[in-house]
Amino acid sequence: MGFLDKLFGSKKKEEKKREKLSLNLTKVNDFSDKFYSKEFSEIQKEVFSKFAEIKHLVKELEALLQELEVLDVQQTEGNPKLRKIVITSKKTLTDKMRNLIAKIAPPNSGDFIELNSYCNNSVKLLGSEVNFGRNIAYTGIVLKEPIKKLGEKIAELNSVFLDTKKLFESKKGLALFNEVKENYSRVKQEIESKKDSLVLEKEISSKLFLIEKEFDSVQTKLKESETSIEATQFKRLMEEKTILVEKKQVMKTKLIELFFPVEKLLRVFRKMVEAKRFILSKEEQSILVSYLSNPFLALKKDNNAETLKKIFNYIKQLVLEGKISLKEKEKEKKLILLDDLIKYDFFTNIFWEFNQIEKKLNEIESNINSLSVSGKISSLKDELASLTNSKNNQLKELENQKNNTQKIENQISKLKQYLEESLSNFSDKDIEISFKP
């Protein structure tokens, strides 16, 4: 910054304001193609003229190279050792030049991007590979004039490449043509993906609607079944059944409580029987084992508990004889308990009442089974549970699909921004893209 600039301040360069342009997505392809053709056509004539010149110069360069290749270096003249080095250097130089010419051979194309890329690469190649050092130096000692012509032709060719490169740079936005096309293609692809995702959402929602409709229907049927006359009868029978089951359990508890004080004596007696220290009939032995494992089943088999009372008498006799050893106080208590059990009316107090409860339970169970509402209610409840599971699965699937649609929408938004940026830089306009038809 100069002194006057520091003193008075320099004017900032005003940034060029781009023309704003709203463009529908359906028009992007047509716009980019037309803009590409229009912009390229403005320099096309000059570019093709330059490329014609490049082709001509490359041919001339090839001709000079061929002349250099056929030139003979006499080893007998001058310094033989130096001339031998020149021959080797010339061979290396021509091989490298031949390779360079192959790399910068112009393409048969009219595409801006391909020609621009070729031009940029050729400028780099001429800048990096035309540096043959000692090969040029040694060859130039003997073949000075051919080497000079070769160098001039390369310089001329490089100058044309640089001029062509400037032409392309004047329309550098066109280099973004492929990027615009790629971004456009990606946006279109994601839009199609969104359409597919929305179709799936609709399909899932339709399935969910049908499931919910069926759910409501089954739920209504269940309520009707549960409030029907049969359902009322079923409920009453189930309540009666519950009361009887409780009574049955009370009877079982009562029988266990009766047996509990003498259970130890029964087990001792069983061991004596098993050890052949006391002989029982097979029936008596079976009843004894049954009473110890399942007193209710045993009582059903043992009419009026006659066998049980015989066993209690056997045990009483063994206690009195001292064959079942007990302390005196305990002995007295156990003998009293055994006498009470021998006198106890098992039929009236246990067996008969137990049988009455089971008889009523069987009747109730038969009545329950005769009611079809029980199976119907059970079936409807199972169906409702299945529909609830299906409904939850569909809701989860719908949520996942909606999340997928949202991800696609987010991706479309990003790609739209990339397309707007690349299209704006490509056309040198401030472009905003809309998706509305």
Encode pLDDT of 18-35 as tens digits.
789 898 998 998 988 888
pLDDT at 144 exceeding the cut of 60: yes
Q: Letter for the amino acid at 338?
A: L
Q: What angle do CA 389, 392, 393 make, to 5 degrees?
A: 85
Q: Is 390 exposed, middle or buried (0-12, 13-18, 19+ CB in 10 A)?
A: middle
pLDDT confidence of residue 67: 78
Together in a domain, 160 and 252: no
User: How much is the average pLDDT of 306-330?
Assistant: 89
The confidence score (pLDDT) of residue 207 equals: 94
Comparing 130 with 235, the larger pLDDT belongs to 235
Q: Is the pLDDT of residue 398 over 50?
A: yes
% of the chain exceeding 90 in pLDDT: 22
Domain boundary pick from 127, 156, 178: 178
Residues 258, 336: Cα–Cα separation, whole Å: 13
Is 66 in the same domain as 88? yes
Which residues partner with 430 through β-bridges? Answer: 20
pLDDT for the residue numbered 16: 63
C-beta of residue 311 within 8 angstroms of C-beta of residue 269: yes
Same domain, 264 and 374: yes
**Residues 371, 237 share a domain:** yes
Mark 18-56 as b/e (b = at least 16 C-beta within 10 Å). Answer: eeeeebebeebeebbeebbeebbeebbeebeebbebbee
Residue 23 belongs to a domain: no
Q: Are residues 170 and 112 in the same domain?
A: yes
% of the chain with per-residue pLDDT over 70: 87
Q: What are phi and psi of 431, to 5 degrees?
A: -100, 135
Verify that 211 and 273 share a domain, yes or no: yes
Per-residue pLDDT band for 185 (boundaries 50, 70, 90) equals: very high
Tokens 């029964």, residue located = 266
- Most confident by average pLDDT, 130-139, 189-198, 223-232, 248-257: 189-198
- Hey, what amino acid is at 89? S
Question: Residue 13 falls within a domain, yes or no?
Answer: no
DSSP SS3 for 18? coil
Residues 147, 200 share a domain: no
Mean pLDDT (whole number) for 152-163 = 84
The pair of structure tokens assigned to 40 is 């390229």
Q: What is the pTM of this model?
A: 0.52
Question: Where is pLDDT greater, at 214 or 436?
Answer: 214
* 68 vs 139: CA distance, rounded Å: 10
Buried b (16+ CB within 10 A) or exposed e, 395-418: eebbeebbebbeebeebbeebbeb
What letter would DSSP give residue 172?
G
Would residue 16 count as lying in a domain?
Answer: no
Confidence of residue 5 (pLDDT cuts 50, 70, 90): very low
Looking at the fold, whether 110 and 205 belong to one and the same domain comes out as: no
pLDDT band for position 130 (cuts 50, 70, 90): low
- My answer on whether 85 and 104 are in the same domain is yes
Structure tokens given for 69: 């290749």
Contact 416, 28 (CB under 8 A): no
Residue 241 burial by Cβ neighbours in a 10 Å radius (0-12, 13-18, 19+): middle
Domain end: 126, 156, 178, which one? 178
- The reply to whether 409 falls in a domain is yes
pLDDT at position 211 is: 94
Write phi, then psi, for 23 (nearest 5 degrees). Answer: -135, 130
Domain boundary among 178, 203, 229: 178
Domain of 346 in residue numbering reads as: 188-437
The per-residue pLDDT for range 68-90, each reduced to its tens digit, is 776 665 544 555 555 565 666 66
Residue 413 — pLDDT band, cuts 50, 70, 90? Answer: very high
Question: How many CB atoms are located within 10 Å of the residue 137 CB?
Answer: 12
Model pLDDT, residue 134: 42
Residue 202 banded pLDDT, cuts 50, 70, 90: very high
Highest mean pLDDT among 170-174, 373-377, 429-433: 429-433
Domain membership of residue 295 (yes or no) is yes
Q: Count other C-beta atoms under 10 Å from residue 264's C-beta.
A: 12
Looking up tokens 């109730």, which residue turns up?
364
**Is the pLDDT confidence value at 4 over 80?**
no
User: If you average pLDDT over every residue of the chain, what do you get?
Assistant: 82
